[in-house]
Copies of this chain bind each other. A is one copy, B any other.
Amino acid sequence: MNHKAKGSNAERELIHLFWQAGWAAVRVAGSGSSKYPSPDVLASNNLRKIALEVKATRDHAKYFTKKEIEELVLFSNTFGAECFVAIKFPKGNWRFVSVEDLKITEKSYMISEEETELKGFLFEEVIEK
């Protein structure tokens, strides 16, 4: 499966989780290529709105470009949504990490698998915050 298809499948998996929990969720078209900032997934349950940058990875740390994170924050501020990066490591559950819990390096934002387990919310936690 190519990189893009893997990304779309990870997003569909999340969409499914949200609908199962009584939220509405959509994948955003052209995320990363649109002229305007946009997240990968948008979810809402009438009371809360959540914008997500979604990554499934086989590595033990996940990196994000500064642009990805800055656009996620800019989009969320304008749309009026909370934002998280949703990360899935091979043996773990989905974890939802706040932007302030990412480490800033010279060129990117990153978080290790260990930190993700420590600081990331589980799906059940993020929808009941």
* Chain A interface residues (CB < 8 Å from chain B): 15-16, 19, 22-31, 34-39, 42, 44-47, 49, 75, 78-81
Q: With A44-B79, A46-B80 given, can you name 5 additional A-B contacts, CB distance below 8 Å?
A: A19-B36, A24-B80, A25-B36, A27-B34, A46-B78
> Across the interface, do A79 and B24 meet the contact criterion of CB distance under 8 Å?
yes
Given that A28-B26, A29-B29 are known contacts, is A46 also in contact with B79, CB under 8 Å in the complex?
yes
* Cα-based distance from A81 to B42 in the complex (angstroms): 13
A41 to nearest B CB, angstroms?
9
- Please indicate the chain B residues that have their CB under 8 angstroms from the CB of A78 in the complex: 22-24, 44-46
> Across the interface, do B45 and A80 meet the contact criterion of CB distance under 8 Å?
yes
